[in-house]
Structure 1
């Protein structure tokens, strides 16, 4: 009883501490406090930074330094930190931990996401107190003989651990090769920079990405392993507990002090305290104490995915698993059921959080995790044994041969993990993209889950098991929670249009009144891998696992390179059923390549000619341009122009149409308008060619008579889009302008009578009738 009260008190302290500390950090996530450096410096400004090396890492020939105690252009920048990326080839030496450096280059700040569902760089780095980075930094330090160093014990220990980590990674790579060595380095050392991206993604999508997070699995293996070895030597229990705790502390520091590792370490120390004092260890109390410890240091962790997933998983083991076992009392011994119940308990708690952060679930992860976790101790044992013996092979004659044996075992299990994960993704229905649930859905799910568990626990306390009926009742309540959690996105009877911010490029997402999904263009000339990092996460956050139709207006890279990425990533990303292209006469090499890629990936290709339409219960997408007998040049002037109609709402998508092409289109359209074959106006116009000087001319405005104009242009683009003359024309016309350059993604929703425009970044909604 006292342990339960202690746990409740600790949880209460967590909330008080978070409320007090977040008053300094932010009013409420994601309105994070601005960086002090950002208030005094401009983006891309050339600066000179003096700072002390706190952390460092290497990847692909680049050295990343985390600098603290920053002095920028001679001014102290509070307690903020900066990342500096340096090319190792240009360095006269590798800086050591605690060394004071002078670095110069252009400063870049981290920003909040420009689209719903995109990765929040600002939050990710701010919780580490990092607010800026220097991409192509130059080291302006003195010669190695005059270097300023902090020779404290802490920095010397950090440098030694970094060297150990680097040496261990090299040993594993030399025995296992780059791919398997990177996998083992990530599992044992938390060295994810060496991990092959394809392997990492396959394992993550199949539900076993947690193997790379140094957490309770590693702590149980290494911490308790050292403790049991020390106990067998006959040493006093206090010395054994202290020795194991010290060893584990060094291991946590070696692996980078991740949230999961620190949480597991705090719980291990409390467990050792219970062993020494002869007290009963209470897992929930230790979990609450670990949360208090971490949140005192950084309250923003309360919204961090790693923090929430780590604590929720352990909470499922200590809070949910005992109740599940009670429902299957008498059946949970001597078979695989205990393993399934453990994985089920963890997943029941994690599912809402997984959807909030990653938008999809690995359907077969329950089975796959049982197998993977059973083999994990073997691969950890083989890996650590091979690493130690491989390092000692220069001193001990037989060590190298034994190390090969250990690494052979590790290699086969890692091969099984890799191949098994990729095979899982090939099974139909292996991934379920559910989208990002609302907070009220998450709250109702947890209410249903804990209600069902409370019913089971109450019957257990009253010595009434109830057998099958009890299990059915609990399952029914939990299934109600699942039903709430997996409500479909989008509203029936409404059409949604979202203009995504893909930098300098175009991408529009449309969801029809019956749930049909469409993408109009998708590419960027300024954002690297826009398909993978901007378009795909947005679609998944909206619950879109399949795109019914993808329209490509023309063959410029800033309209289709993201679509090419989506096509090649369909096994782990978004399935594309059909790609729709303009007349084959206006294709260029890029469109031909896109066609070949789509056909190779099993996606159908259609050509949409002028006048052809695609319909979905009131929603009509009609191709208006280019003409069937178009004889002009390909490219911007031959962009596919699409008209979207839903009830009384009309929107015109013009691709990169400008000048000659726009004039030809307007002449044709005005003639058709006079014949009564084309509507007289559009509520929304998508400006041609990102708002370039030669586009969206007065004649186009007179033809479309728009109330609102959407412009897709990148921040800081070198073309000056949208052009000043276009902005002046739009201002004189009196329409409202929505621009990704200034506002990020723009969302529109209509029922066919009125429409609403929402600015997700500004949380503003405008209703137009």
Structure 2
């Protein structure tokens, strides 16, 4: 019987599969069927491959473990979600205290609600001076659960915090310490972290020279060394992410390796292996606690410790096994961590390095080629100076090829995960990483040295940290430069999970095939060499062997290049194919939930895109947080037309955000504004910003029309002759027609303007029944009059409105009037994003959130 190879890796996969069975929304009978099918497959595989029975037991055990642990956590989650938002009393153990822009966040472990529920939550408080980690506190305040994502593609705060094992927040009104016991270790770590942050602030912002290059570098070092991004400049964070180097701002395996190896090598100069290894592991674990124990940090810590332990006990280190062990430990603690983007990218990156790159490196023989040149170096006294120079150039060439290939392989393998989480890919990220990663040693070590020297004097701290600050400044300039290069970041959309699984399987099959072909080539070469006569290899035979090797290497390169091209074509081409071919006859209208405001995204059957308004008075950075991710997740990086109905903040501040952003995640081709008399400061600001960005500015007035394929837009209002000082009444009113489907977009017009439209002879022929109506002014009682509704008779009415808004929108009067004409109402405060899909005949309406209370 064969012994199990890499049983921990197999156990990890089994656990993940068990979690998948628990998480899939299937009937229990289907789940049992999947489990039975899996068992039959495993038993069959065990018999065919003659594996030990323990192989079967291990897989089944971890599959069941994954299923049971996940179901248990689901039950706990559902129990906490049954608690209604409102004023509650909670007691729990203080696990962590962090400083936020609004005060402090207290992470409570084993929180006990007065309703009897138990779970981890975050308490927000203004003062934590009397609270220590380890204290048991009792809190009275307003409890609020994390919301599900309101729009497709938006950040899902509920899913994210589930992955961290946190299920709600509580805004504290009163906090009482009921048990003053302190976790001395964690509290001292917190105090040390605060002390380091103060030293960094003194070095970077309070040095006597007031050096500009050090300004705000403290927040970058807090992210790099302490894992704290709360004070990190948003533009820097976005710039790094856009360029594909955001990983340098997160504690990862790179940081652990730099610190761990630096400490280990330093200790090895004076101490034996065991002492050096022991203290290196201790330092790495202390660094992990100091930096917040992020997913990537824990994974890297486990792998680093296992490597040194393996060396100490004389066991061969296996990267895949240590990675799998770290994964199992994390999943047992919280199975929902698998949804964490940090978990996904950390494990995908390390898998690409220890498995995929190892195979690719073997296929193209980079190490072997360099090793052969090093052997030749031993005979330097025999070979000529010219040959020595040639060998040096060859070695440099092989190292460059190896580095470039390594960066490309990791970036390509990561691209589906990056696309799934961020919807766009940095085209030149793998080239930037070739420059940036080697320099991270300087950044990390100079940061640590600077902090230590600052204990003597701030001036020495400045000297110590300056090399790292210069490197960080270089990073920023490099990212700025690359951001201006065409196609530096391409929107690809959010690929489906099944697509990601399929392309990974096919990619790994391709890599394994290349490895198999390399082994076959080596066997053929050995056979060829065995046929050489006793007299040795002649020059012609040597040339034939070399020519044969080059031809076969060219074949491997060609197949690998083709594989990469196909891999990238699938990722980059999925949404263009879906949008241009699969959905080529469908009109998509998405009323986004932007809070109290308007934002409507349209995709025409010919894949032309339009955004009608984009603003909010209740959602901060509405473009970045709501509009951009929704549009990008569907594979669109360009908006062909942006229609600004009027320039109130709740309709235009998101558009201004897009226009004035230094990083253009969405390209705008045309902006359409109403051709009106009142061109005030806000109106001209939009015009000037558009012109500065070389965006075509178009003006529209009543009677004008715009035809995009089979979709026609007709402007019903305003006219150039109308004079009023109310921006709402200047709103552009559009009627959309696509075969038998029609919809009217009304901006924020009042009932007075509705009456004027009804009486206007120029547009009277377009005032007729419609399938859908975007209700004016968020459902204000001063709009959507009886006469207006009687004329357009909408089958469906859509209201863009903020949840629990201060204006009381939509008013009951408006809802009553809509019900009188039997119009079915959809509201973004209830449904989140609402999608209207029509082929010109039939209509399908999809609500992002199913709300049974509406």
Structure with a larger share of its residues in helix: 2
| Equivalent position of 1:171 in the other structure | 199
1:283 aligned to which of 311, 319, 328: 319
Asked if residue 608 in structure 1 is aligned to residue 700 in structure 2, the reply is yes
Q: Distance in 2 between matches of 1:761 and 1:7?
A: 38
Gap regions ≥5 residues in structure 2: 18-62, 206-214, 371-394, 523-548
Asked if residue 667 in structure 1 is aligned to residue 795 in structure 2, the reply is no
Q: Distance in 1 between matches of 2:92 and 2:4?
A: 49
| Equivalent position of 1:718 in the other structure | 806
| Equivalent position of 1:692 in the other structure | 780
| Equivalent position of 2:415 in the other structure | 351
Q: Distance in 2 between matches of 1:709 and 1:59?
A: 41
| Equivalent position of 1:380 in the other structure | 444
Deviation for aligned residue 1:300: 0.5
Secondary structure, aligned partner of 1:462: helix
For these two proteins, the number of residue pairs brought into alignment is: 733
* Structure 1 residues 363-374: aligned runs within 5 Å: 363-374=427-438
Contact kept, 8 Å, 2:676 with 2:720, in 1: the verdict is no
Contact kept, 8 Å, 2:491 with 2:635, in 1: the verdict is yes
Contact kept, 8 Å, 2:587 with 2:605, in 1: the verdict is yes
| Equivalent position of 1:123 in the other structure | 159
| Equivalent position of 1:706 in the other structure | 794
Gap regions ≥5 residues in structure 1: 395-399, 765-769
1:302 aligned to which of 329, 335, 338: 338
Deviation for aligned residue 1:624: 1.1
Asked if residue 231 in structure 1 is aligned to residue 268 in structure 2, the reply is yes
* Structure 1 residues 102-117: aligned runs within 5 Å: 102-117=138-153
| Equivalent position of 1:649 in the other structure | 741
| Equivalent position of 2:293 in the other structure | 257
Asked if residue 39 in structure 1 is aligned to residue 103 in structure 2, the reply is no
Q: Distance in 2 between matches of 1:738 and 1:61?
A: 34
Superimposed CA distance per residue, residues 724-748 of structure 1 (whole angstroms, 9 cap, x where no aligned partner): 2222232232222211111110111
Superimposed CA distance per residue, residues 63-118 of structure 1 (whole angstroms, 9 cap, x where no aligned partner): 2222234344x5554133233132x5xx6x35321233444443332101100010
* Structure 1 residues 53-452: aligned runs within 5 Å: 53-60=94-101, 62-72=103-113, 74=114, 76-86=116-126, 93=129, 95-135=131-171, 137-141=172-176, 148-151=179-182, 155-177=183-205, 178-235=215-272, 237-330=273-366, 333-334=395-396, 335-391=399-455, 393=456, 402-452=460-510
TM-score (norm 2): 0.82
Superimposed CA distance per residue, residues 169-220 of structure 1 (whole angstroms, 9 cap, x where no aligned partner): 2222222234112112211111212322211211121111101221211121
Secondary structure, aligned partner of 2:594: coil
* Structure 1 residues 469-488: aligned runs within 5 Å: 469-486=555-572, 487=574, 488=576
Go from structure 1 to structure 2 and tell me whether the alpha carbon gap of 1:246 and 1:231 turns closer, same or farther (over 3 Å shift). same
Superimposed CA distance per residue, residues 352-373 of structure 1 (whole angstroms, 9 cap, x where no aligned partner): 1111100011111111011000
Q: Distance in 1 between matches of 2:763 and 2:281?
A: 80
Q: Distance in 1 between matches of 2:66 and 2:303?
A: 20
Contact kept, 8 Å, 2:103 with 2:124, in 1: the verdict is no
Contact kept, 8 Å, 1:588 with 1:634, in 2: the verdict is no
Go from structure 1 to structure 2 and tell me whether the alpha carbon gap of 1:492 and 1:292 turns closer, same or farther (over 3 Å shift). same
TM-score (norm 1): 0.90
Asked if residue 458 in structure 1 is aligned to residue 550 in structure 2, the reply is no
Contact kept, 8 Å, 1:555 with 1:635, in 2: the verdict is yes
Q: Distance in 2 between matches of 1:410 and 1:267?
A: 27
Secondary structure, aligned partner of 2:830: helix
Superimposed CA distance per residue, residues 390-427 of structure 1 (whole angstroms, 9 cap, x where no aligned partner): 12x06xxxxx5553332121111111111111221122
Q: Distance in 2 between matches of 1:452 and 1:631?
A: 68
Q: Distance in 2 between matches of 1:561 and 1:672?
A: 30
2:843 aligned to which of 725, 750, 755: 755
The structure with the larger Rg is 2
Secondary structure, aligned partner of 2:569: helix
Contact kept, 8 Å, 1:555 with 1:588, in 2: the verdict is no
Q: Distance in 2 between matches of 1:443 and 1:557?
A: 43
Segment of structure 1 superposing worse, 503-512 or 212-221: 212-221
Secondary structure, aligned partner of 1:496: strand
Deviation for aligned residue 1:593: 2.4
| Equivalent position of 1:634 in the other structure | 726
Secondary structure, aligned partner of 2:316: coil
Q: Distance in 2 between matches of 1:619 and 1:355?
A: 31
1:52 aligned to which of 93, 113, 118: 93
Superimposed CA distance per residue, residues 124-165 of structure 1 (whole angstroms, 9 cap, x where no aligned partner): 112223222234x445447xxxx84213xxx11111111111
Q: Distance in 2 between matches of 1:83 and 1:35?
A: 19
Deviation for aligned residue 1:522: 0.9
